[in-house]
Amino acid sequence: MTGYLGSYATLGLLLLAGVLFFVTAFSANRVLRPARPADPFGKRTAYECGLDPVGGDWAQMQIRYYVYAYLYVLFAVEAVFLFPWAVVFDRPGFGMVTVVEMAVFVAVLALGILYAWRKNILRWT
């Protein structure tokens, strides 16, 4: 398929194949499933390690765990930005400018972790 509309035709065929696969899979599911699925006693109850559920379904969780998760994700994602900097750092024309930019970036990260440490957010109780 060449020409101006060739790439659009390829995209259209790919979309058509995806839709056909989707429709075929769901049709096969409807045809091959049992006519009346079994609904034995206790099938829709919660499973907790083979024991019957006891008590209510509401439990209070401390916000501290969300803060730990948020801080981990924040620093892990921002640490990923160090890798492209390390790749570009050695190229000509990126010398001192990239060092200053990364120093500012790491300083902002350090201020964030210092703030969390000073507010005792990182203290596990």
**What is the structure's pLDDT at 37?**
67
Over residues 46-62, the pLDDT tens digits come to 666 666 666 776 777 77
Mean of pLDDT over the chain: 80
Long-range contacts of the stretch 110-115 (C-beta < 8 A, 24+) = 112/74, 112/75, 113/71, 113/75
pLDDT of 99-111, one tens digit each?
A: 888 889 889 888 9
Q: What is the pLDDT of residue 47?
A: 64
pLDDT > 90: what percent of the chain? 15
pLDDT digits (tens, 9 = 90+) for 91-101: 787 777 778 88
Which of 105, 101, 111 minimizes the C-alpha distance to 79? 105
**Looking at residues 105-122, what average pLDDT do you find?**
85
Q: The pTM is what? A: 0.44
Which residues have a Cβ under 8 Å from the Cβ of 64 and sit 6 or more positions away? 121, 125
Domain boundaries, the chain: 4-119
Record: fold of 4-119:
Methane Monooxygenase Hydroxylase; Chain G, domain 1 (1.20.58)
Q: Is 67 exposed, middle or buried (0-12, 13-18, 19+ CB in 10 A)?
A: middle
- Predicted confidence (pLDDT) at residue 1 exceeds the cutoff of 70: no
3-state secondary structure of 31: helix
Q: For residues 82-94, give the mean pLDDT.
A: 78
CA distance 91 to 88: 6
